[in-house]
Amino acid sequence: MFLTPWSATLRMGGCIPLLRRAGVQADGSNMGRPKEFDPDVALSAAMERFWEGGFEATSLSDITASTGVQKASLYATYGDKRQLFLTALSRYQDEGLVRLTATLGAHATARAAFEAVFAGVITECASKDRSRGCLCVNTAVELGPRDPDVAEMLQAHARRVVALFADRLEQGRKQGEIAEHLDVQATARFLLVIIFGISVGGKTGLGARKLDEVVRVALSAILV
């Protein structure tokens, strides 16, 4: 936790730090209260900062600079840095699922739907000014093996993405677009792994054109 323990507070000089946190000077006068802020806007800014730098490399000072929110207000709203990160990761996942659902449902054919999905992934993860990959993939590499809570969040998100892909693939198969012999669930996982690869490829500088070539090969393997 980033909050000062009670024992440390006593060592720092009795109740004075507590008074200051409460907005009261040692002489009894009021200090200015922390400015009000929009938690939704602040969370989006924190998400962007974590996406850019990862969890470990992003300091609390980085977050306050990105959000414009004082530390005390961040503590009160989100708890510690880890909890803020988990909340930001959840925001990233929720927003991604909303976009994915909309994209898959906006096209009449499976080909057009998945081409649009992958075009969006390439733009987000591998364009010249946004070659930072996918926050979920970055987090899986950084924290997944040693943080069970993060691992569960990532696995749950992957299951939801696979379910959406499988539903659209099943629709495509009924329309004669997907090869009959393909297992829909396995194919959905295959497409998710392609997204993982695009994220890593974008961070290593493959570029949008080469990644688009990969997508065309992948889709040619499942579309008739």
Please say whether the beta carbons of 147 and 55 come within 8 A. Answer: no
Number of domains in the chain: 2
The helix (H) or strand (E) run that includes residue 88 is helix 81-105
In a domain, 5, yes or no: no
What's the whole-model pTM score?
Answer: 0.81
Percentage of residues of the chain with pLDDT beyond 90 = 72
pLDDT at 18 over 70: no
More confident residue, 30 or 5: 30
Shared domain for 105 and 162, answered yes or no, is yes
Burial of 172 (0-12, 13-18, 19+ CB in 10 A): buried
Query: What are the backbone dihedrals phi and psi of residue 21, each rounded to the nearest 5 degrees, phi first?
Result: -65, -35
Task: Give the separation between CA 86 and CA 104, rounded to whole angstroms.
Answer: 27
User: Which pLDDT score is estimated for 100?
Assistant: 98
Token output for 8? 């440390």
> Which of 40-49, 121-130, 176-185, 186-195 has the least mean pLDDT?
121-130
Shared domain for 144 and 102, answered yes or no, is yes
> Which of 34-48, 159-173, 201-215 has the least mean pLDDT?
34-48
User: Which pLDDT score is estimated for 37?
Assistant: 83
* Short-list 28, 139, 38, CA closest to 93: 139
Shared domain for 221 and 177, answered yes or no, is yes
Q: What is the pLDDT of residues 139-170, one digit of tens each?
A: 999 999 999 999 999 999 999 999 999 999 99
Please say whether the beta carbons of 78 and 84 come within 8 A. Answer: yes
Residue 38, classed as helix, strand or coil, is: coil
In a domain, 6, yes or no: no
Task: Give the separation between CA 132 and CA 53, rounded to whole angstroms.
Answer: 9
Token output for 156? 């749950």
In a domain, 62, yes or no: yes
In a domain, 72, yes or no: yes
User: Which pLDDT score is estimated for 28?
Assistant: 43
